[in-house]
Structures are given as C-alpha cells and as structure tokens.
Structure 1
C-alpha cells in the first residue's frame, strides 16, 4: 500500500481511499471504509483517522482454524443470518393490511418496552437451532411466553368445532415465521415446541454459574425493537454471544438494515471494498445487511448478510459461512477533539454528561470539545447498534448513561463487548473496570459502578473514564428517561 489519504467533501459517502501499486502475492486485497457523516448537532467535521483494513479474504478462516470454538462460531453465524431473514420477513408483512402484523404483532412488556413477532421468532429460532447442535449449552434470552400462552389458551377456549378465529393467534404467527427460515434439522414445528423453545431462554443460571464451569449462550433477539417498529431507517441488531467458564469467547451481530456500498477495486487484484452508508440513502449502489463476528484471539470480522431465499438449505455447520469476511478495526483517533461521538438519535449532545466533561477544564486542551464542534453519529434506541458502529470504525466511542446503582441487561451488551474488544477497543465502566468481568457471573443483569459504560477505541477509553470521573456528579440523573442506550 503506497498511500492512504482522507478527504471530506461534505458528501455522505466521502471516505478514505487506498492506492495500491504493488502486486500482492497473497491474492485479492480487501479494505473496509467508513464514511464521513454530518450530524444534526454539528457545523463542521474533521478528518478522523478512520482505519483501512488490508487483508486477504481467507484470513478469517485461517485465523479461526485452530480455535476451540470454531464449530460454535460457524453455528452462531448461521443462526444469526437466519434470524435476520426472519426480521426482514416480518417487516415486509407489517406493511400489508390484514396480515396480523400491522403493529409488529406484539405488545408492550411490563418495563414498557415493545416486543414483536420478530422478537419471539428470533428467540425460538436461535433456541431450536443451537439446542439441536449443542444440547447441553443453555441459553440466556430476553423473552418469555407468558402472554403468548395466555393468548393461545384464550383462542382455543373461544373457538368451537364450528368456529375459526378471524385472525391467527400471536404464537401461530411466530411459528409460521420460524418455519420459513429454520434449517432442515428443525422438523415438525408446533406452537407448543416453539413456546418451549422460547422459554428455554429463561433458565436460571445463577447457581450453576457460581461453579465457573458453565457455558451458555446470551441472546438479544432484537436490540432496538422501537427502531424495528418504525419500519423506516432506524438501525436494529440481532446479538448472540457465548460465555465459557466466565469469559466471553465469541459474539455475532446481525444488522439487517445497516446500509453499505461496495466500491470495485481500481486495479485487477483489489477486491471490492465495503463501505458503511447512511440509512435512507436512495443511491442505487447502496445495499443493506451486514453481519459482524468476533472470536476470542481471532479478531473482529464483517461481511454482507447472505440472501438465501430460493436457495437450497445450507448446512448450519458449513465452512462457507466463514468466507468473504473482512477484518474490522476500531478507528485510530488519538484525541477527543477529532473523535466521532455516537449518541441516541432522540438526544442532543449538549445534554450528555461527557459533553460537559470535555468542555470543562478537566479535559486536556487537545481533548477539549465544545457543543458546536462535536462530530456526532446519532443512532436509534438500543446499545448493540452503537457497539456495532464502534467496532466497525464508524464511531470512536459512546457512553451508556446510567443512574448510579442502576442495573443493565446482559443481552444488551454481551455480543457488542467482544466485538469491540476484538476490534481493538475497550469496554469499561466509568471507573475503568472491564465490563467483561461483570458479565461473567451468568446473571441476566449486572450493575456497572460509577454510573455508566464507556465503549471506545483503544486510545480514547482511558481518557474518557478519567475526564468523566473528574466530573462524576454530572452523570447522576433523576429518572430513567435520561438513560443512554
């Protein structure tokens, strides 16, 4: 690689360019490029050191060849691909009147968060597929079938031999969607089997986890369900991770509607370059759907999601699933003045506690950022999409803003933590303790100390925790509506 230059022209897709003049003896070369994005809270942008990864496409297969968890990784990639296909299928039907999916076919849970046919379907699918391959590895999932079973029983009680319900029960919709994308090894699906599969994710692992010899999957069926229900451009993510003996060993995240473009190489031996794009872009070259996978000691990798409709069913253990992966790295920003900050799209940067810290004397001059200088990447509800952006190099950092003593749910973080870490980043609480050490206890929730979680590239994490600790009183809030997620 002879030269790397970075230009911003005010275009959404302005990005890094790579000039390659030497012949590459290892075959085709790949690079991952992240675009500039003009945030709504800024007046100008700087040239952040966004990484360009040059790797042979077969590197991922070589890197994980000797991994103890190669088989589990392949299965996780397969089932997340299938789960993303299920999500897209439900979204298509949400647009059709009379389909039973007009509101996602769901309801609000006790914590006022929505749950849909897609949430239930993904948890059932993942549970069924993984239990068939790894029957002794339990699952920690977000959903349970309390309301599904109640709805099902009411429908059966109200339907006589001569009557049929005007619309299918919610669990029937879920079962139908699972059957459409399940592998051939999942046979004879019934609503009872699907409900049992969903409830498999509600197992109590606390006692067993204390023995530190337990492996278990952690699943967030859809992180960002509110964004999923918007049916527009809001990003949502399917997240799956595996914990073994108290350590995160792999994570897979699928973004069914993450937009990207592929730019063909300028010279014959270059492979097409994948570049993240802004959702809602109507350019004909923009495609959607990205999958990210990380395995302990093997790095973090990304590829376009596979479109499998109309194709013969693929073996969930197929090596094909490892093909076409491009290594992903966090960005290389060294100062907070040049960093891109990821926040929730309903929030304003000036209200963020980090904004106050960076505008104060606590920050070094090179890190001091005023509200109108901040380079902002706003993303929808949910934490995993923000982990995705940091691991991809599309954002330098984000801070999950919490009340002191507040608990967070393990499935909202597990897959993201290992992806960011393997991409070269850091995930800690505000006091600098690795979140990995909090997840390992096998419980559904954990409590970060200090009032927040810092997700950042390897150069900025320590700075952020230091500045926020200096003004820590600023991160205490009075109600949950101010939480950053």
Structure 2
C-alpha cells in the first residue's frame, strides 16, 4: 500500500504486533495484576507494559511528535512488585522477532517515564501539530475475562485523524458478522485493521506467517446504504453509563429487530463498523456531563469514515478531538452511513423525547 504515511504505518504496525505479544502472554494468566483506577475501571500489567512499548517505539521513530495515552505510572511507582511484573513483560520481548523496529525502555524508571509522557498528554488545538493517541488495551474488563479487546494507535494532525492502526488479537481477519465479545479466531491468529485518511480501510492478519502479507481493502459499504440496510453494533447491558432502553428503542424504530454486533470496547465497535459487519451505532449517556475519552475513539473512528460513514454526537455536532483527554465538547455518538445519518439522528431525538429524556439533548 503506497501512502504518504508509509513509515508511520510500518512502525505502528510493528509496535502493535509486539504489543499483541504482550497482551497474549497476560491474557492466559489467572493473575493479570489488575488494579482499580480512580474512575473504578480496571488496569492490568499488560496495559502499563503496552503503553510504555508504544510510547518508546513511536517516540524513537518520531521524536518531535506529542503523545496521549490512557494510563499513568503512579500505581507502578507506589507498588514495586507491580512495577517489576510490568518490567518483566517488556524484558520478554528482547529476543522476540515481533519487536523488530520496536524500541524498549532501558530501565524500569525509563519505562515509567514513557508511560507518563503520554499519560498526561493533551491533544491541543487545531495548530497542535502531530499527536499520537494510544489505548494500550481497550476493553480491559473483557480482556480480564479472556474475551475481546483491542490495541488502539492513532495519529492526529491539527486535531484531525490521519492514521489508525488497531490490533484485534481475538478477531479473525475474515470475520463475518455478527460478532461480539466472545468471538475468537479459530486459527488463533487475530487481525490488524488500519486506515489512512483518504486511502480507505484495510484488514490483514495480525502476524506474518509466511510470504507476502495479504491486505484486504474494505469496500466503501456505507457510501450508498439505505435505512433497510442498517445493521447495528452496540453495547447492551454491559455499562451503566448508557441509556439502554433508548438505544434499543432507536434501533427498533429504525427497523432493526436483532441485536447485531455487541462489544464492550468502543474501539471494537468502530472496527465492526469499518469492516462492514455493522453500519450504525448510537450512544446516549445518562447524564450530559458524561463524555467519551479520546483514546477510545481517536483513529478508530477513521475506520468507519473511510468506508463512507458519518459520525457526530447526538446533537449533530462533529466530534471535536481537540477538546482534551475527555471529549467534553460532545455528548454521545451517532454513527451511520452518510446517506441516512440525518434520519438516524432524527430518530434519536424522537425516541428521547418520547421517553421523556429530552433533557439529554442540547
């Protein structure tokens, strides 16, 4: 694939492959070194190690760029045993071929520095230049249960998505919908889904087995879809932040009688949309002050946009990736084919008003 971001794509794919090796080594373990963060969400030793790897690798290749990641190293500095376990995961990669083109931290302290370099990063405004955004493991709750998760790497320029590389260690490259948290690759191989602005969305196996890697370009399936073509991906009864009864009523009003794809991880929802296994999703938070987080969406949304999808919040506003680590300029998400996005958005408003939830609209 010829691309103006060929070097960035190569480095990001190699980093995601090495990160996947880390995640897979922890996935099978009973003790994943899980700790609870201030927002009550879990983080594992794999999250910390992957964020350190991604930051060190991308920083080595592009030292003038900025970085944002989900985690900070505070828990590691406060817990020497946990720190040593994370450092041990990185040491395992020293002789692994998957670390080709990757840069490892040289010490536990440098590892913590790499984690914090992006753990306190901010996207900046439209003049912010190049900013990489990492989610080392999106779907940590399902990862702990040995189910689906994703490794998200995004590049923004001036607050706009230009590159997305998503590692999906549990999903096959030839996945056929509907898929959900329990879906696994029978071959145990996994996949990488990636996109470059203006050049489409692609899927490939997670690792090269032999010979040339086979890329599959996803057809722009959302470019001309109609209401009767809609297939949903959502997250039913797995998170307490969303309005499940509204989500279900919206889909029913749009004519969808089956649940479709169902994922806890937001990145995997964008993957399902990008691959054409679904083409619509809606998310309404229970409170207006609840917002998305940049690492759950940046880059991964490009996968759907590059096949003809349109993404706004429930007020119809474009998603603002310059607002901060939290997407404070937006409330919720409405993603659908461009051709029917207005109809889906109108349906969201109708259902919320019918259910007495008009206060959730601007």
Same fold (TM over 0.5): yes
Name the residue aligned to 2:215: 325
Name the residue aligned to 1:42: none
**SS across alignment from 2:299:** helix
Alignment of 1:354-433 (within 5 A): 354-357=247-250, 367=254, 369=255, 374-402=257-285, 403-433=287-317
Alignment RMSD, CA only?
3.1
Matched, 1:220 2:104: no
Name the residue aligned to 2:19: 83
Q: Which has the larger radius of gyration?
A: 1
Using structure 1 for the length normalisation, give the TM-score. Answer: 0.65
Query: Could you list the per-position Cα deviations for residues 412-456 of structure 1 after superposition, in whole angstroms to 9, with x for gaps in the alignment?
Result: 100211111112211111222221xx0034x2111354x420122
Partner Cα distance (1:126, 1:228) in 2: 19
Alignment of 1:52-131 (within 5 A): 61-62=1-2, 64=3, 67=4, 69-92=5-28, 94-95=29-30, 102=31, 104-131=32-59
Partner Cα distance (1:151, 1:142) in 2: 19
Partner Cα distance (1:282, 1:213) in 2: 39
> In the alignment, is the contact (CA less than 8 A) between 1:255 and 1:290 conserved in 2?
yes
> In the alignment, is the contact (CA less than 8 A) between 2:126 and 2:159 conserved in 1?
no
Using structure 2 for the length normalisation, give the TM-score. Answer: 0.86
Partner Cα distance (2:333, 2:153) in 1: 20
Partner Cα distance (2:340, 2:171) in 1: 25
**SS across alignment from 2:339:** coil
Partner Cα distance (1:191, 1:107) in 2: 19
Counting matched residue pairs gives: 349
Name the residue aligned to 2:350: 470
| Cα distance change of structure 1 residues 329 and 430 upon mapping to structure 2, 3 Å threshold | farther
Aligned partner (choices 175, 186, 199) of residue 103 of structure 2: 186
Query: Could you list the per-position Cα deviations for residues 30-58 of structure 1 after superposition, in whole angstroms to 9, with x for gaps in the alignment?
Result: xxxxxxxxxxxxxxxxxxxxxxxxxxxxx
Query: Could you list the per-position Cα deviations for residues 50-93 of structure 1 after superposition, in whole angstroms to 9, with x for gaps in the alignment?
Result: xxxxxxxxxxx14x2xx2x222122112111211121111113x
* Structure with more of its chain in helix, by fraction: 2
Shift of 1:177: 1.4
> In the alignment, is the contact (CA less than 8 A) between 2:236 and 2:244 conserved in 1?
no
> In the alignment, is the contact (CA less than 8 A) between 2:173 and 2:203 conserved in 1?
no
Shift of 1:394: 0.5
Task: Specify which structure has the bigger relative contact order, considering alpha-carbon pairs within 8 angstroms and separated by 6 or more residues.
Answer: 1
| Cα distance change of structure 1 residues 344 and 72 upon mapping to structure 2, 3 Å threshold | same
Partner Cα distance (1:83, 1:477) in 2: 43
Aligned partner (choices 446, 465, 468) of residue 327 of structure 2: 446
| Cα distance change of structure 1 residues 325 and 459 upon mapping to structure 2, 3 Å threshold | same
Matched, 1:254 2:170: no
